[in-house]
Amino acid sequence: MTSRNFDSLPTVEPVARLIEELNKLPGIGPKTAQRLTYHVIRLPAEEARALAQAVLDVKERVVFCSRCYNITDKDPCAVCTDLRRDQTRICVVEEPLDVLALERVQVYRGMYHVLHGVISPMHGVGPDDLRIRELLVRLQGSGVQEVVLALNPSLEGEATSMYLQKLIAPLGIRLTRLARGLPAGSELEYADEVTLTRAFEGRQEL
Amino acid sequence: MTSRNFDSLPTVEPVARLIEELNKLPGIGPKTAQRLTYHVIRLPAEEARALAQAVLDVKERVVFCSRCYNITDKDPCAVCTDLRRDQTRICVVEEPLDVLALERVQVYRGMYHVLHGVISPMHGVGPDDLRIRELLVRLQGSGVQEVVLALNPSLEGEATSMYLQKLIAPLGIRLTRLARGLPAGSELEYADEVTLTRAFEGRQEL
């Protein structure tokens, strides 16, 4: 029953190709790509078409706002053109998803600027690969009074914040960044050293 | 700076829709769907088109083999029409992915039959929802000498194997199933009770 000669191994070209395409997506390994592919095969045709169309539409109809570089379907975006928002503050974030996260908590009502990454020599990302120049242009004579740096509390996020600080400080604009400390619901006993150090250093008067 | 009135929350319709479509896929939660969507937005247009096309092709060009119910781009499939394979054995599996897994290890050179699931009252799946009737029709006067049950060693897989056993036993065909025991590279000390019991019960002469 054992044989090493398998000419008829069932490789179905469209199946292999979808597995390959899905496997290219971040966080989707070959096993997940296989499972998703077999799921798509069993979808009703109209649902598969809806998925394919959604992929096409997001490429065709979504652009980056030419002011804040957030994603939008009309340029400039809804935030940049909303006159009820505070035009004198700009919150700088790494990714469009960060804008979504901040909007969800409804604590900020100013403008945004999306860098599309952080400076990361390890990954070959320098300042010129980000929307830093565009941020500086926006700040020139703009009446902006505060720039909130809301980058991730990672090594690269911190380094990028420091880089931005050097560039923005000479402009005389108030520069803030999000607080570091213990996350809500966490237990002090399990906090990592860096978090605990930051929480202690940033302790507030009661 | 605090406000609870956010009319300009940046919901971009094509973005929301792709997130929703991806979120429908098994194992893709809302967070992963968001991350994948933002990845697609940044893909070169031709790569996004290739992904969409692969989804469409897999629906349009892939069918189920009318004999073994495996996926194929021509019916009957390459395995069923390969005369060098052993036509007297049928290996019964749950999913097309199981065929792929078995073909990969090259230990079996007979036919397959894909049930497309297992009996699962919890999920409302009865025998009529699977390709069981089609299997019995295949077995009638076919000259098949062995049916290998290669269902998953889960509760439902075992129950389905027992159900099939009752149906196939009267036909006088040899019925086998895959061995249960310790997986390669595992440590006995960490094996769960069921696995260890099965491994002991199924111990083999040296």
Domain co-membership, A178 together with A139: yes
Per-residue pLDDT of B54-71, as tens digits, reads: 999 999 999 999 999 999
User: What order do you get walking across the sheet with A146-149 strand by strand?
Assistant: A110-114, A86-93, A146-149, A174-177
> Residue B3: pLDDT band by 50, 70, 90 thresholds?
very low
In a domain, A3, yes or no: no
User: In the structure encoding, which two tokens stand for residue A56, read together?
Assistant: 């096409």
Q: What is the band of A43 on the pLDDT scale with cuts at 50, 70, 90?
A: very high
Verify that B100 and B192 share a domain, yes or no. yes
Q: What is the pLDDT of residue B78?
A: 92
Residue A2, domain member (yes or no): no
Contact B176, B148 (CB under 8 A): yes
Question: Please, are residues A85 and B8 in contact by the beta-carbon 8 Å criterion?
Answer: yes
Structural domain includes residue B2: no
Domain presence at residue A166: yes
Domain count, chain A: 2
- pLDDT for the residue B5: 41
> Among A61, A79, A102, which residue terminates a domain?
A61
Of residues A17 and A104, more confidence is placed in: A17
Q: Is residue B152 part of a domain?
A: yes
Distance CA A21, CA A23 (A): 5
Q: Does residue B8 carry a pLDDT above 60?
A: no
B201 pLDDT above the threshold of 90 = no
A103 in reach of chain B (CB within 8 A): yes
pLDDT at A141 over 90: no
Would you state the pLDDT for residue B206? 73
Question: Do A22 and A94 reside in the same domain of the chain?
Answer: no
> What residue type is assigned to position A177 of the chain?
R
| Model pLDDT, residue B86 | 96
Q: Can you say whether the dihedral through the CA atoms of B72, B73, B75, B81 is positive or negative?
A: negative
Query: For residue A83, is it within any domain?
Result: yes
**Which chain A residues touch B61 with a CB distance below 8 Å?**
13-14
- Tell me: pLDDT of A64 over 80: yes
Task: Name the band, by pLDDT with cuts 50, 70 and 90, for residue B142.
Answer: confident
pLDDT at B204: 79
pLDDT given at position A4: 39
* Mutate which: B58, B81, B84, B86, vs A, most A CBs within 10 A: B58
- Output phi, psi for B142, to 5 deg: -100, -10
- Chain B CB contacts of A9 under 8 Å are 78, 103
Enclosing domain of residue B21: 9-61
Q: What is the pLDDT, as a whole number, of residue A1? A: 38
Nearest to A62 by CA among A94, A92, A96: A96
Same domain? For A82 and A53 the reply is no
For the ranges A159-163, B5-9, B118-122, the lowest mean pLDDT is seen at: B5-9
Do A175 and A197 share a domain, yes or no?
A: yes
Q: Best residue in A2, A15, A68 to probe B by mutation, most B CBs within 10 Å? A: A15
Joined tokens for residue A22: 């899905």
Predicted-complex ipTM score: 0.73
Do B81 and B164 fall into the same domain?
yes
CATH code of the domain in which A13 resides: 1.10.8.420
- Report the CATH number at residue B174: 3.40.1360.10
Per-residue confidence (pLDDT) for residue B23, from 0 to 100: 94
Q: What is the pLDDT of residue A197?
A: 86
- What percent of chain B shows pLDDT beyond 70? 95
Residues A126, A173, single domain; the answer is yes
- Do A103 and A190 lie in one domain? The reply is yes
Of A35, A33, A1, which is closest to residue A17 (Cα–Cα)? Answer: A33
Pairing of strands B110-114, B174-177: unpaired
A99 to B10: CB separation less than 8 angstroms, yes or no: yes
B1 in any annotated domain: no
Report the range of poorest mean pLDDT among A148-157, B20-29, B194-203.
B194-203
Together in a domain, A82 and A181? yes
> Which percentage of chain A shows pLDDT scores above 90?
67
Q: Which residue has the tokens 């469209």?
A: A14
Distances (CA, A) of B22 to A21, A95, A151, A178: 14, 20, 27, 32
Task: Name the average pLDDT for chain A.
Answer: 89
- Are A136 and A184 contained in the same domain? yes
pLDDT number for residue B129: 95
Supply B39's token pair: 């990845």
- pLDDT, tens digit (0-9, with 9 covering 90-100), for B146-164: 999 999 999 999 999 999 9
Same domain, A43 and A17: yes
At A194 the pLDDT is 85
Interface check for A180 against chain B (CB to CB < 8 A): the answer is: no
Q: Is residue B112 in a domain?
A: yes
With tokens 């300009």, the residue in question is B8
Q: Which residues of chain A does B50 touch, with a Cβ-Cβ cutoff of 8 Å?
A: 21
Residues A182 and A133 in one domain: yes
